[in-house]
């Protein structure tokens, strides 16, 4: 998938990164082989916390799916390896 100029600029300054998936996922919009991911923002966490006040796992999933621009149901189909790479980029976590 070719990147547009805005995506290229975001990657250059470290605001986003494109990941080629280890295993493509099927979404209602078709097969996804790569994802452009942006950094997680505070508003993503606030929204996730409001949606799932009792589950830190779901809060993280909702915040990361927003950064990837996927529905949570589609995000659930990522491999653990892809999820780990995205998580590390978005959160700076291991």
How confident is the model at residue 83, as a pLDDT?
95
Q: For the chain, which residues score pLDDT lower than 70?
A: 1-14, 93-94
Are residues 45 and 52 in contact, defined by beta-carbon separation less than 8 angstroms? no
How confident is the model at residue 3, as a pLDDT?
53
How confident is the model at residue 81, as a pLDDT?
96
Surface-to-core class of residue 80, CB atoms within 10 Å of its CB (0-12 exposed, 13-18 middle, 19+ buried): exposed
Question: What is the per-residue pLDDT across 35-62, written as a single tens digit (0 to 9) for each?
Answer: 999 999 999 999 999 999 999 999 999 9
Side-chain-facing half-sphere of 2: CA atoms under 13 Å = 2
CA-derived radius of gyration, the chain? 13
pTM of the model: 0.77
């Amino acid at each position: 998938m070719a990147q547009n100029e805005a995506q290229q600029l975001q990657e250059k300054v470290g605001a986003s990164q494109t990941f080629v998936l280890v295993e493509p996922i099927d979404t209602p919009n078709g097969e996804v082989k790569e994802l452009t991911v942006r950094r997680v923002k505070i508003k993503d966490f606030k929204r996730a916390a409001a949606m799932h006040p009792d589950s830190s796992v779901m809060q993280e999933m909702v915040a990361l799916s927003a950064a990837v621009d996927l529905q949570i149901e589609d995000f659930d189909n990522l491999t653990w390896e892809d999820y780990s790479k995205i998580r590390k980029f978005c959160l700076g976590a291991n």
